């Protein structure tokens, strides 16, 4: 029942789940892929250069579960004196909202899927448990630097979701055919590779300023672990196809006729043009968190983004769990066969 609901609706919310242990959270997440056992990003080599490093704290007794949030936590789940940092767009975007407006306005930090995108297969499901949630105000999420900018009124510290199935449905027939027949190559060690790059204002992919780290400065690369995945992924219950690309990690596009587009600026412009309609305000679900909310989302069917800017005294504490899948996503060929 829960499996059908999740793969049909992509995001499922259970209220009042503070009693759930970290072990129970992992076991629930693991139910969607029982052969998967390790954290979705594995053990990150050269972790301090990874853009994920500041945002995650691993629970010692349940390494598939991470602690995320904002502010100082004296102790939690075996961790002591932890300083959490809610990702702020000024640390990752090329431009930022002025400090004077930071309380009232915000941005999508980074639209993404939870996936290593090198070696390990993308997790099927991510679970998020809200342990402590600041509340009492909202922010206006702006999309662009220019004025007027599209905007979305959001709860403080929301997690935003958009459906990959909706995104594909919005494309023109020619763009849909392109998406259905194209494969996406991801950079090796992508979160280190992109560590000096900066995001577009809408959080949907990176600007091309030749700031990516050269491959010879990354940890050792095994070519067999580089991932080339379909641009569209099949839903295992509905058989529907969705446009599912991590826009910040993509480096090449492999077209149906054998052409490889490897000009990074061109690749990013193509992916942004295809995905941008799907994050329009009317297609974004911004969850209004309450303490005890346990949210399950289909990581292979949605993009999601952290949103918001907290004051230092606004403490936020969440648990996140996902596990590297036991198989890779299936594309349009599998949907036709099914």
Q: Which of 120-124, 143-147, 276-280 has the lowest mean pLDDT?
A: 143-147
Residue 53 has pLDDT above 70, yes or no: no
pLDDT in tens, 62-81: 999 999 999 999 999 999 99
Quote the CA–CA distance of 35 and 166 in Å, as a whole number. 30
Residue 336 has pLDDT above 60, yes or no: no
- Cβ(25)–Cβ(63) under 8 Å? no
- Report DSSP state, residue 199: B
Quote the CA–CA distance of 209 and 315 in Å, as a whole number. 35
- The closest alpha carbon to 328, from 111, 115, 65, belongs to 115
Residue 116 has pLDDT above 60, yes or no: yes
Residue 47 has pLDDT above 70, yes or no: no
- Report DSSP state, residue 23: H
Quote the CA–CA distance of 278 and 282 in Å, as a whole number. 9
Residue 44: predicted pLDDT? 55
Tell me how many degrees the CA angle 139-144-150 measures, rounded to the nearest 5.
Answer: 65
Quote the CA–CA distance of 332 and 34 in Å, as a whole number. 25
Residue 163: predicted pLDDT? 98
Residue 334: predicted pLDDT? 66
- The closest alpha carbon to 255, from 336, 174, 334, 178, belongs to 178
- The closest alpha carbon to 163, from 58, 230, 214, 233, belongs to 233
CATH architecture of the domain with range 2-337: 4-Layer Sandwich (3.60)
Quote the CA–CA distance of 162 and 282 in Å, as a whole number. 10
Tokens 């915000």 sit on residue: 106
Residue 235 has pLDDT above 50, yes or no: yes
Task: Answer left, alpha or beta for residue 119, where phi above 0 means left and psi between -120 and 50 means alpha.
Answer: left
pLDDT in tens, 259-275: 999 999 999 999 999 99
Per-residue pLDDT, averaged over 179-207, amounts to: 97
Neighbouring-strand partners of residue 79 = 76
Quote the CA–CA distance of 313 and 319 in Å, as a whole number. 20
Q: At what angle do helices 264-275 and 173-181 cross, to 10 degrees?
A: 120
CA atoms within 13 A on the CB side of 285: 17
**In the chain, where does DSSP find H-type helix?**
2-9, 22-30, 164-169, 173-181, 190-193, 264-275, 332-337
Per-residue pLDDT, averaged over 148-177, amounts to: 96
Residue 335: predicted pLDDT? 57
Per-residue pLDDT, averaged over 103-108, amounts to: 95
Residue 338 has pLDDT above 80, yes or no: no
Residue 110 has pLDDT above 70, yes or no: yes
Extract the tokens encoding 48.
Answer: 């301090």
Residue 19 has pLDDT above 60, yes or no: yes
Residue 40 has pLDDT above 50, yes or no: yes
Residue 45: predicted pLDDT? 47
Residue 143 has pLDDT above 50, yes or no: yes
């Amino acid at each position: 029942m829960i499996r059908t609901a999740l793969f049909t609706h992509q995001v499922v919310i259970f209220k009042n789940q503070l009693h759930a242990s970290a072990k129970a959270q992992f076991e629930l997440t693991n139910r969607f892929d029982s052969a998967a056992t390790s954290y979705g990003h594995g053990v990150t080599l050269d972790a301090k250069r990874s853009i994920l490093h500041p945002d995650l704290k691993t629970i010692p007794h349940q390494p598939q579960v991470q602690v995320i949030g904002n502010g100082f936590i004296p102790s939690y789940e075996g961790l002591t004196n932890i300083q959490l940092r809610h990702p702020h767009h000024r640390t990752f975007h090329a431009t930022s909202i002025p400090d004077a407006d930071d309380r009232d306005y915000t941005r999508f930090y980074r639209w993404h899927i939870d996936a290593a995108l090198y070696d390990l297969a993308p997790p099927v499901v991510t679970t998020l448990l809200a342990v402590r949630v600041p509340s009492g105000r909202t922010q206006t999420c702006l999309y662009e630097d220019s004025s007027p900018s599209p905007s979305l009124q959001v709860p403080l510290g929301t997690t935003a979701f958009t459906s990959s199935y909706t995104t594909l449905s919005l494309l023109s027939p020619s763009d849909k055919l392109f998406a259905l027949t194209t494969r996406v190559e991801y950079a090796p060690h992508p979160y280190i590779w992109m560590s000096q790059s900066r995001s577009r204002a809408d959080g949907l992919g990176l600007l091309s300023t030749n700031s990516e780290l050269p491959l010879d400065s990354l940890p050792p690369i095994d070519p067999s672990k580089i991932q080339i995945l379909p641009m569209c992924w099949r839903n295992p219950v509905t058989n529907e196809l969705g446009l599912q690309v991590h826009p910040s990690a993509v480096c090449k596009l492999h077209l149906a006729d054998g052409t490889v587009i490897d000009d990074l600026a061109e690749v990013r412009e193509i992916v942004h043009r295809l995905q941008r309609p799907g994050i329009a305000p009317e297609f974004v679900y911004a969850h209004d968190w309450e303490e005890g909310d346990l949210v399950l989302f289909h990581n292979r069917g949605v993009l999601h983004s952290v949103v918001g800017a907290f004051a230092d005294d606004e403490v936020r504490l969440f648990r996140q769990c996902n596990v590297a899948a036991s198989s890779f996503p299936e594309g349009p060929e599998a949907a036709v066969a099914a």
